[in-house]
Amino acid sequence: MSHDTVKTSIDKYHPVSDLGGNPRGAVEDSPALFHAQMYAIGEKFGISGLKSLAKEKLEGDIDHIWCGRTVVQVIYGTTYPSDRGLRDVIVRFADQNITALKIRPEFEETLEDFPSSLGIYCGG
């Protein structure tokens, strides 16, 4: 099944707005956003295999992309605080790349949105 087929099926039965949407117009085809939304669907419907696969995919892609504010909003907005799955992936990436990320205005804005979640791990 292609990415577009899955996305269309998901949008039909579970609108993106229910998954933490795309409030700031982020690129809809962002792999990180897609993985975060798949994880959210796995969480909502209790599909642990989907959550595991989405986490694995995000871990594989994260070194090539910075997830951005919208992805962090989806991750933190669609999971319980005790669900560290994707949260730990984002925090670990930010911690390992903090010097490069701190010069990016988008990252600073993300830290402002999630200070207790990201800031303490990233020296913020």
Distance (Å, whole) CA 21 – CA 33: 9
In a domain, 78, yes or no: yes
Evaluated on CA atoms 81, 63, 32, 59, the torsion sign reads negative
pLDDT at site 4: 56
Q: pTM for the full model?
A: 0.70
In a domain, 29, yes or no: yes
In a domain, 124, yes or no: no
In a domain, 59, yes or no: yes
Assess contact for 54 and 39: CB atoms under 8 A: yes
Distance (Å, whole) CA 20 – CA 33: 10
- What the block records as the tokens of 104 is 């990016």
Assess contact for 94 and 121: CB atoms under 8 A: yes
In a domain, 11, yes or no: yes
DSSP designation for 120 = T
pLDDT at site 19: 45
Q: How many independent structural domains does the chain possess?
A: 1
Q: DSSP letters of 5-20? A: HHHHHHHHHS-GGGGT
pLDDT at site 86: 95
- Find the domain containing 28 and state its range: 3-119
Name which of 91, 30, 97, 33 is nearest 63 in CA terms: 97
Please give the chain's pLDDT, 124 residues, in tens: 455 554 454 444 444 444 444 444 444 568 999 999 999 999 999 999 999 999 999 999 887 766 678 888 899 999 999 999 999 999 898 888 888 888 888 888 888 887 666 654 455 4
Q: DSSP letters of 87-115? A: HHHHHHHHHHTHHHHHT-HHHHHHHHHSI
pLDDT at site 118: 61
Assess contact for 121 and 84: CB atoms under 8 A: no
